[in-house]
Amino acid sequence: MKLYLKKSLSILSFGFLFAFFLSACSLLPKQNTVPDAADGTRTLVHSGTLHISGRSYALLVNGAWGTGLLHYKGKKYQIKAKSIGLGYALGIKHISIKGTVYNLKTLNHINGKYTGLKAGITIGKGIAASNITNSHDVVLSLSTKSKGVAVDVGAGLASLQIQLTSPKPVK
């Protein structure tokens, strides 16, 4: 009976966390629009894609860093990324981020600090989503998968720093 009760509580807890995550994701902006003072929304211009892989460590204060590639105008550029934040998190995990880049007018505009909304959950394996913008109006719509010895859940503000490691394309 005790084993049955423990399994039921585990399933119920996971269901609650998953429902919380889905509710939080519904608060994120749609991927093809962002707020604009004129009419409430505006269309984004697709500029490229990016992929970042790295690590995340957390004990209430969490930090993540990684490297990856930006695909822009048919060429690939190396980038690095880092993030630091507060939240309900504990553990170590490997992260893989895939994203769509909007409104990138020049290559150097990818550099900078991005902020916006995020929602995610990790219990061993995890998923997260975020839409973030930098000071050059470049918008990243990101999807993150994670795996590791970690537990976290949350929705709120996201902050990510991205920098080109070289303005020369890689082959």
The vertex-26 CA angle with 21 and 28, nearest 5°, equals 100
Q: Span 141-167, mean pLDDT?
A: 88
| pTM, full prediction | 0.76
The per-residue pLDDT for range 93-110, each reduced to its tens digit, is 999 999 999 999 999 999
* Nearest-angstrom CA–CA distance, 124 and 7: 17
Output the pLDDT for position 56: 92
CA-atom Rg of the chain in angstroms: 18
Among the ranges given (15-19, 66-70, 86-90, 163-167), the one the predictor scored with the smallest mean pLDDT: 15-19
Look at residue 150 in the predicted model and tell me its pLDDT.
Answer: 87
Rounded to an integer, the average pLDDT of 47-61 is 92
Backbone φ and ψ for 44, nearest 5 degrees, come out as -95, 150
Per-chain mean pLDDT for the chain = 81
How many CB atoms neighbour CB 166 within 10 A?
A: 9
Residue 124 has pLDDT above 90, yes or no: no
Is the model's pLDDT at 16 over the cut of 50? no
Q: What is the pLDDT of residue 6?
A: 47
